Amino acid sequence: MTPRRERARDSGAVVTVTRAPAAVDVDPTRYARRRRAVGTVLAWGTPVLLILLWQIAASSGWIDVRFFPAPATVWKAGVAAFGNGTMTSAAEATIAKLLIGYGIGVIAGVALGLLLGLSWIARSSLEYTLIALYTLPKLALFPAFLLIFGIGWTPQVVLVGVSVFFIIVLATMTAVVSVEAGYRDAATVFGANRAQLLRHVILPAAMPAIGTAIRLTAGIGILVIVGIEMVSGSSGLGYLIFERAQVFDPATMYAGVIVAGLIGVIFTALVTLLLRCAIPQQRPRLRRR
């Protein structure tokens, strides 16, 4: 506090602070539209700039195009791979495995997390076992999954599900346990039964944290599925990337990497959109900065 203000406060004078209206105060709709437009330009402009730099580096000979082809070459290889169906079938396989594994992991994780959050007996029995299993490197378990679930998609789907499940279950449990006791007490005082308490108090209070875990694991899901496809199986983008590297076809390989990245972006965006619809707290708010 400045000495002048301190003096004013000590003298008991009323200090009026005024500020000029910001753009958001003058016309919030226009401000929001403008901010969206700038955001869109920045979101698309950054990757475009990076690709441009990559192209310049390739054209100028700063990078060895035999190993790191120019974006134009990667584009051509990608178009050819979509044309002959290899990229399409690989992307379809990856998306299908991702959706099934991720879906199972999220549903099972939220269900068990709620149970653990609500029941201290369940929590006492399973919490530390789950933490121990969560810290295990899942890829190291893959040979066991192969033996249990056989060859094909199933072990890969299970691996994605398991990787997502542990994060969701622990996040959900923590979110439920962290709901303030005051909220529960207030609802109980008003005569809420257990189901009403869960529906109207615990779930709404825990959903933002659960939603954040669901959103974060969307990216983990794509990382796991592409990673495991690279070391096992004969389908999906990971397999395509690995197989193209094996035959020294870097252009198609990088096209596969980019497609995997795009799937990750689209999938995460879809999950975010769904969460925004379902959880009011996840919706963006207009801020001045």
Residue 153 is a binding residue for other proteins (CB under 8 A): no
Kindly tell me which of 72 and 197 has the beta carbon lying closer to other proteins.
Answer: 72
Joined together, the tokens standing for residue 161 give: 């599900």
Beta carbons of 32 and 40 less than 8 angstroms apart: no
Shortest gap between Cβ of 151 and other proteins (angstroms)?
A: 5
Site size for other proteins, by CB under 8 A? 23
Q: Which amino acid is at 235?
A: S
Q: In this structure, what is the dihedral angle of CA atoms 158, 161, 166, 170, given to the nearest 10 degrees?
A: -150
Distances (CA, A) of 124 to 44, 107, 133, 251: 48, 22, 15, 52
Give me the torsion for CA of 181, 195, 211, 101, rounded to 10°: 140
Q: Supply the minimum distance, in Å, between the C-beta of residue 246 and other proteins.
A: 4
3-state class (DSSP) for residue 68: coil
Q: Judged by CB under 8 A, which of 108, 187, 245, 279 binds other proteins?
A: 245
C-alpha 39: how far from chain center: 20
User: Helix, strand, or coil here: 219?
Assistant: helix
Binding range to other proteins, per CB under 8 A, among 1-9, 25-33, 140-148, 204-212:
140-148
Among 94, 172, 232, 282, binds other proteins (CB under 8 A): 232
Site string for other proteins, 86-105 (x = CB under 8 A): x-------------------
**H or E element that contains 114:** helix 86-118
Question: Residue from 50, 231, 262, 273 that binds other proteins (CB under 8 A)?
Answer: 231
The answer to whether 197 and 253 are in contact (CB under 8 A) is no
- Residue in 21, 129, 246, 289 binding other proteins, rule: CB under 8 A: 246
Binding to other proteins, residues 15-34 (CB under 8 A)? none
CA–CA gap between residue 162 and residue 133 (Å, rounded): 10
Applying CB under 8 A, which of residues 75, 82, 134, 142 lies at the interface with other proteins? 142
Residues in the chain: 289
Q: Which of 239, 259, 271, 275 binds other proteins (CB under 8 A)?
A: 239
73: contact with other proteins by CB under 8 A: no
Pick 28 or 83: Cβ nearer other proteins:
83
Count other Cβ atoms within 10 Å, centred on residue 168: 24
- CB 69 → other proteins: shortest distance, Å? 10
Which spans of this chain sit near other proteins (rule: CB under 8 A)? 64, 66-67, 84, 86, 142-143, 146-147, 150-151, 231-234, 239, 242-243, 245-249
